[in-house]
């Protein structure tokens, strides 16, 4: 829950976190994000591609959800209730 917008960083597969943990996403893996507060959740790329529809920047409003789907070769597709 956040009143201001917040960035959600998406990473490519097989990269390590600062603590040394590996991020392993299979093609087709989905992360469902619920914007619970008033602040928009904005997916941002770190070493990969994040594809959103033209003109969209993130979640579409309070109690709306978006889906981040790993579609391969370090690419995420974002869809759902967007704004």
Which SS3 state, helix, strand or coil, does residue 58 take?
coil
pLDDT (0 to 100) of residue 16: 73
Q: What's the pTM? A: 0.89
Mark residue 14 as left, alpha or beta (left: phi above 0; alpha: psi -120 to 50; beta: remaining). Answer: left
In the chain (83 residues long), the average pLDDT of successive 10-residue segments reads: 90 76 85 96 95 97 97 94 98
pLDDT at 15: 75
Residues in the chain: 83
For residue 30, how many other CB atoms are within 10 A of its CB? 12
């Amino acid at each position: 829950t956040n009143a201001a917008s917040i960035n959600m960083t998406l990473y490519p597969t097989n990269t390590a976190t600062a603590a040394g943990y590996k991020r392993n996403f299979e093609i087709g893996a989905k992360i469902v994000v619920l914007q619970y507060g008033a602040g928009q959740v904005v997916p941002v790329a770190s070493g990969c591609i994040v594809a959103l529809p033209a003109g969209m920047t993130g979640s579409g409003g309070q109690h709306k959800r978006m889906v981040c789907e790993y579609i391969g070769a370090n690419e995420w597709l974002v869809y759902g209730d967007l704004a």
